Amino acid sequence: MSLINTEVKPFKATAFHNGEFVDVTEANLKGKWSVVFFYPADFTFVCPTELGDLADNYAELKSRDVEVYSVSTDTHFTHKAWHDSSETIGKITYPMIGDPTGIISRNFEVMIEEVGLAERGTFVIDPDGVIQIVEISAGNIGRDASELLRKVKAAQYVAKHPGEVCPAKWKEGEATLAPSLDLVGKI
């Protein structure tokens, strides 16, 4: 069953955020757009490249009223240690949620049970707490934050413009489509 158009399930966790440990729940994912970005583990190889790329695009996401939450099955203590010891991870200013019990990973259906790690899952959640975008990648394939940003822009656009859809490769400011009988077979 797809998680698209489902509401985020309840959870409570601790995150490392801007030098502090903070509580985060599903309520934090409501009231603005959110990106929940799962990755397998701290102190690994592909993960820091993804998280660093996301950090490089964080200001633009924030300017669009989007909060980013990275999540792994590591603890918030491990997130702090990684943040303090890695130049790439040290530039992160979004919350890094610890999910050592796997509850959040299971809620989003990205838990790899046999190893206790999360898949590379990306979820874009609207201000009502409803999942609008789901992307899952194999562990050896890194994601691109610029593509995520494009998808966030498209999701925000269609949310503000009911009856319009964004075609493939749509970029902000380009033409959209208004599905109708007149378009059938003409695209």
Catalytic residues: 47
User: With contact defined as beta carbons under 8 Å apart, do 70 and 54 qualify?
Assistant: yes
Going by C-beta distance under 8 Å and a sequence separation of 6 or more, which residues neighbour residue 59?
none
CA distance 105 to 121: 9
CA angle 91/128/157 to nearest 5° reads: 75
3-state SS, residue 183: helix
CA distance 124 to 48: 20
User: What tokens does 113 get?
Assistant: 């049970």
Buried b (16+ CB within 10 A) or exposed e, 129-147: bebbbbeeeebeeebebee
Closest to 99 (Cα-Cα) out of 34, 30, 16: 16
Dihedral sign for Cα atoms in the order 178, 181, 184, 187 = negative
